Amino acid sequence: MSTTRVAVYARVSTTNHGQDVSLQTRELQQFAEARGWTMAGMYIDDGVSGAKDSRPELNRLMADAHKRCFDVVAVWRFDRFARSVSHLLRALETFSALGIAFVSLSEQMDTTTPTGKMVFTVLGAVAELERSLITERVRAGIRNARAKGKTLGRPRIAVDAPTICRLRAQGHSLREIADELGYSRGLVHKTLSNRVLAGEAIKAGHSPFYGPWRNTDNRQKPRRSLGRQILAFHAIPCD
C-alpha cells in the first residue's frame, strides 16, 4: 500500500517582528505524522508578502504539483497560502484537477474527507456565482452603452483599396504600401486578399494584385514566398 506524500507550505510576511515560520511548520509536521503521511517537501516563503500571487516557494510548489511530486498540500491557515478567495479557489481547482488534496489546519478544511470535499464544492459554487454576476454586470454595461448610442469596439478604418492595388501593381512591397498609407501590413494584405475589394479595384483598372482566386485556365501556378503560399496573377485590365 502506497504512503500518502504531503507537501507543507508556510509563509511569514516579515522576519524582524517576532514572526517565526517554525510555528506553522511544527504543527503541520505533527499533523502529518498523526495521519501517517510521509513528508515530501517543505516550501517556505520567509519574509514574503502575501499580497503577491507570485512567490518563489509557492511557484515551486505549484510546479511540483504538476509533476505529481506529492498527494496532499498542507497549510497552517488560508491567508498563509492565498492572497484572496479567488486565488485560493484557483489553486484548489488546480489541485483537484491534478488529484491532489488540500488541508488547512486552522480552518479544519481537509479535502481528503467528505466534509472537506463538501466545503470545496460550496466554495466552487460561490465562485461560479461571483463569475456569473460579473458577466451579467458587464453585459448590462454594454447594453446601457448601446442604449446611449455609444459605439463599441475598435473604430472603423476607411480603406483605400484602389490605391493599395495600384501601388501593388507598381511593384511596391506590402511594407512600403503600409508605410505610405499609414496602414498596418496585415490590413494591406487582408485588403489585397479580399475578393470584393480587389474586384472593385480591378473595375477601376488597377492590376495585378495578390489574393485568393480561382484558377480557371490552369495556366497560373501557386508559388511560395517567405514560407507562405501566395497566389499571384495578373488580372485582365478593364476597358
Query: For residue 113, what is the domain's CATH number?
Result: 3.40.50.1390
Of the residues 101, 127, 153, the one at which a domain ends: 127
Read off the pLDDT of each residue in 70-91 and give the average, rounded to a whole number: 86
**Whether residue 12 sits in one domain with residue 76:** yes
What stretch of H or E contains 6?
strand 5-12
Question: Is residue 116 situated within a structural domain?
Answer: yes
| Total domain count, the chain | 2
In tens, the pLDDT along 151-181 reads: 777 777 777 888 888 888 888 888 998 888 8
Would you state the pLDDT for residue 166? 83
Q: Is the pLDDT assigned to residue 210 strictly greater than 70?
A: no
Q: Is the pLDDT of residue 69 over 80?
A: yes
Domain assignment present for residue 62? The answer is yes
Most confident segment among 19-28, 66-75, 103-112, 212-221: 66-75
pLDDT averaged over every residue in the chain: 77
Last residue of a domain, one of 127, 143, 170: 127
pLDDT score for 40: 92
Is there a domain that residue 209 lies in?
yes
pLDDT at 195: 54
On whether both 116 and 55 belong to a single domain, the answer is yes
Q: Which residue among 13, 86, 132, 184 is the active-site one?
A: 13
Q: Are residues 179 and 78 in the same domain?
A: no
Same domain, 115 and 186: no
> CA of 210: how far to CAs of 48, 68, 227, 239, in Å?
57, 52, 16, 21
Is residue 153 included in any domain, yes or no? no
Percentage of residues in the chain having pLDDT higher than 70: 78
pLDDT band at 204; cut points 50, 70, 90: low
Instruction: Name the least confident of 77-86, 90-99, 145-154, 205-214.
Output: 205-214
pTM of structure: 0.53
Residues 81 and 178 in one domain: no
The answer on 172 and 121 residing in a single domain is no
Specify whether 168 is located in the same domain as 117: no
- For the packed helices 185-193 and 161-169, what is the interaxial angle rounded to 10 degrees? 90
Asked if residue 134 is part of any domain, the answer here is: no
- Regarding whether 15 and 83 lie in a shared domain, the answer is yes
Domain co-membership, 199 together with 119: no
In a domain, 42, yes or no: yes
- Most confident among 10-24, 47-61, 192-206 (mean pLDDT): 47-61
* pLDDT score for 213: 37
| Residue 236 Cα distances to 149, 156, 216, angstroms | 45, 31, 13
Residue 194 lies in a domain: yes
Domain interval for residue 36: 5-127
Same-domain check for residues 193 and 109? no
84 is catalytic: no
Asked whether residue 88 falls in the same domain as residue 188, the answer is no
Q: Judge whether 148 lies within some domain.
A: no
The confidence score (pLDDT) of residue 63 equals 93
Measured at the alpha carbon of residue 169, what is the angle toward residues 164 and 174, in degrees to the nearest 5?
Answer: 50
Answer yes or no: is pLDDT of 1 > 70.
no
Query: For 9-13, 43-47, 121-125, 234-238, which range has the lowest pLDDT when averaged over its residues?
Result: 234-238
- 46 pairs with which residues across the strands? 12
My answer on whether 167 and 119 are in the same domain is: no
The pLDDT-based confidence of 39 (bands split at 50, 70, 90) is: very high
pLDDT at 42: 92
pLDDT at residue 50 in the model: 74
For 42-69, what is the mean pLDDT?
88
